[in-house]
Structure 1
Amino acid sequence: MTNTLQKYISENAVPIVIYLINEHKVNLKIVNQRQTKHGDFRTLPNGKTQITVNNNLNKHQFLLTLIHEIAHHVTYKKFGRVQPHGKEWKTVFQHLMLPFLRPDIYPTNILPYLANHMKNPKASTDADVKLSLALREGMAEPGKSFIFDIPQGSIFQYRNTLYKRGHKRRTRYECLNLTDKRVYLFNQNVEVIPVNQ
């Protein structure tokens, strides 16, 4: 397990993660990228639980996602069925993340955003725009751009649908779906495929 984890997380985080996996009897499965989520926690039909994490995440995203899902596992074992991202989960997640909030695990350009996020963790790190961009080090996937880098009025593709980028509201962009002609709001850290016009 140590050799596998070293491919996906900071070397300094490995002993703590191994401890958590053993202590809480976590069944971890590393899977191919999924478009809609970085990881998940589920109860299997046989009563056992399983955590999956996408294999395409960088080391900082992978560790945060893994601890997020371990927090679901621990919350389920401790409290049974409760709100998925309710106060019980938040408390457990904060407690589990504390040992990782160190500059030898998370770089100093990420730590302030991560510490701020952990005050009141959201259901998805992507919902925290500043943290999401810091975790990705301001780099979009190859062939994609962040929506804030697309000029207003430009066409882009998102999940096999074409949109036209409109005005920025306070924190999100209005984008016209060219198929159904409805306006949708996009977070500024969404990665899209620019379409040459």
Structure 2
Amino acid sequence: MKIILQKYIPEASLNLVINLLDTYPHKLKIVNQRQTKHGDFRLTKGGKYQITVNNNLNQYQFLLTLIHEIAHLATHMNYKRVQPHGKEWKKTFQHLMLPFLNPEIFPIEVLPHLAKYLKNPKASTDSDVNLALALKQYSEKSDKSFIFEIPLGENFIFKNRIFRKGNKRRTRYECLEINTKKLYLFNQNAEVDLAENK
């Protein structure tokens, strides 16, 4: 596992991660990109623990996602049935992440955003705009944009459908699907392709 993980996480984090894998044994699967999540934790039908993490994440996103999911496993082992991202998970995630808040592991530009996010972690790191932007700069360059970067009234493409960006409602944007004239709410950090405006 150590040899495989070397490709996906910062080298300075490797021994810490191996210790966590030994403490919380499970089957780790590195899978192809999923649109709706970076990773997940589940108890399989055979009663085994399994964690999956997307293979397209940069090394910092991968590490953060892996610890996020190990926190679910640890929470399940310690508390059994609790809310998936409730206070028990938050406390566990914060505790597991502390040794990783280190400039040898995460870049200096990411650390303040990561520390702020960890004060009250949410179900997805993408819900924190500043952290998502700080992490994105270490990904391979992409033509995609975050919705919050697109000007109001501009068209964009998501899952082969054309939308027009509308007003912000708290943390999401109201967007009109051009063909159906239906309104959809998009997370401000959803990644989309720009479209020609007509």
CA contact (8 A) 2:42 2:50 kept: yes
Corresponding residue for residue 71 of structure 1: 71
1:156-197 per-position Cα deviation (integer Å, ceiling 9, x unaligned): 111232101224456543321223323333333221111224
Q: TM-score by structure 2 length?
A: 0.92
- Match for residue 86 of structure 1? 86
Deviations 1:6-41 (A, max 9, x none): 111100000000010011112211111111100000
Match of 1:40 in 2: 40
SS in 1 for 2:152: coil
Q: Partner of 2:184 in structure 1? A: 184
Aligned to 2:114: 114
**CA shift digits 1:104-129 (9 cap, x unpaired):** 10111110110011111101111111
Q: Percent of aligned pairs with the same residue?
A: 60
- Partner of 1:105 in structure 2? 105
For 1:145 and 1:138, locate their aligned partners in 2 and report how far apart those are by CA, in whole Å: 15
* CA positional deviation for 1:68: 0.2
Paired letter, 2:163:
Y
Say whether the 8 Å CA contact 1:145–1:191 is kept in structure 2. Answer: yes
In 2: Cα distance, 1:93 partner to 1:138 partner? 23
- CA distance in structure 1 between the aligned counterparts of 2:17 and 2:182, rounded to whole angstroms: 45
Shift of residue 81, structure 1, vs aligned partner: 1.5
Contact 1:129 1:187 in 2 (8 A): no
Q: Which moved more, 1:89-98 or 1:23-32?
A: 23-32
Q: How many residues align?
A: 197
Aligned residue identity for 1:108: I
State the distance in 2 between where 1:137 and 1:170 align: 25
Give CA deviations for 1:30-57 in whole Å, capped at 9, x if unaligned.
1111111000001100111100000000
Instruction: Return the alpha-carbon distance in structure 2 between the equivalents of residues 27 and 170 of structure 1.
Output: 38
